[in-house]
Amino acid sequence: MKGIIFDLDGVLLSTDQLHYEAWKKIADKLGVPFDKKINDRLRGVSREASLEIVLEKYNGYLSKAEKEDLCNEKNEYYKELLHTLDEDTIDPKVRETLAFLKNKGFRLAVGSSSKNTMTILHRTGLEDYFDAISDGNNISKSKPDPEVFLKAAEYIFLKPEECFVVEDAEAGIDAAVAGGFCPIGIGLAAEYSKTRFPIKDITQLKDIVFLKI
C-alpha cells in the first residue's frame, strides 16, 4: 500500500456539532424535528442530500429554488461557525500520525464531500500534510459514489488498490468499497460490517498501514 486517503469531517476533526447547529436553525425555521440522531445520518452526505434528510418530516412543498436557498442559508451559518476553528481544534494525535505517515513515504490525500474543505484545512493548519485534496467542489456524485476517492487516488498517481481510505461514515465506507479501496473505519464506521479494519484511535494507523493486504 502506498497511499492513504482521509475523509475530513469525523476523521481529521469533528465538525458534526457545527453542522448540527447550522441544520438545527434551518429545521427550527421550518418547524421540523431535528436531533443528534438525525444529525448522525448526515455524516459524509452532501449538503443537498442532507437537506432531504432534514425535510423527511416536513409536510409542505418546496421548489428546487427554495431548497437551494435553504442549503445556502445553512452554509452561511456553518461558515460563521467555522471561524471558531484554529490549530488547537486538531487533536495532537492527528498531527503526529499524519507526520509519521508522511515521513514513512506514504502519499496522503483528503477525500471529503465538503465544499468547505480548503477553508477547514487552512484554518486548522492541516493543508501542508497532504499531497492532494479531492472535495465537494471537484465531484458530480457524492458518497456513496466512489468519485471523490477515485479523483484523490488519481491526484496522488496511485491505483485504488494501492490506497487505504479512512472514514467515519457508512456512506464513505460504501464509497471506498465501490471504488476498490481498502476501507478503515473510525467512530460509527468502526461498527460497520463492510469496514475492513476498525480503529478506535487514529494512531492505530501507524500499525495497520504496514500490513500486507
Q: Does 135 bind Mg ion (CB under 5 A)?
A: no
Q: Does 89 bind ligand B16 (CB under 6 A)?
A: no
107 touching ligand B16, by CB under 6 A: no
Q: Which stretch binds ligand B16 (CB under 6 A): 62-70, 97-105, 114-122, 185-193?
A: 114-122
Binding to ligand B16, residues 6-35 (CB under 6 A): 7-10, 19
Q: Going by DSSP bridges, is the β-strand pair 182-186/197-199 parallel, antiparallel, or unpaired?
A: parallel
CA distance 125 to 63: 39
Smallest gap from residue 18 Cβ to Mg ion (A): 13
Q: Which residue has the cell 492541516?
A: 126
Nearer to Mg ion, 7 or 174 (CB): 7
Q: Among residues 45, 132, 169, 189, which is the contact residue for Mg ion, using CB under 5 A?
A: 169
Q: Does 7 bind Mg ion (CB under 5 A)?
A: yes
Active site (annotated) includes residue 145 = no
Residue 97 interacts with ligand B16 (CB under 6 A): yes or no: no
Tell me whether residue 131 is one of the annotated catalytic residues: no
Residue count of the chain = 213
Distance between CA atoms of 148 and 34, rounded to whole angstroms?
Answer: 28
Contact of 25 with 106, CB cutoff 8 Å? no
Q: Work out whether 127 is an interface residue with ligand B16 (CB under 6 A).
A: no
Residue choice 113, 124, 134, 195 for contact with ligand B16 (CB under 6 A): 113
Question: Position 126: which residue type?
Answer: L
Residue nearest to Mg ion (CB): 10
Query: Taking CB under 6 A as the rule, does residue 202 contact ligand B16?
Result: no
Among ligand B16, Mg ion, none, residue 136 binds (CB under 5-8 Å by kind): ligand B16
With CB under 6 A, what is the number of residues at the site for ligand B16? 20
Please name which of 132, 179, 196, 167 lies closest in space to residue 45, comparing C-alpha atoms.
167
Q: Write out the residues near ligand B16 by the rule CB under 6 A.
A: 7-10, 19, 42-47, 50, 75, 112-116, 136, 169
Which residues are tagged catalytic?
A: 7, 9
Q: Write out the residues near Mg ion by the rule CB under 5 A.
A: 7, 9-10, 44, 168-169
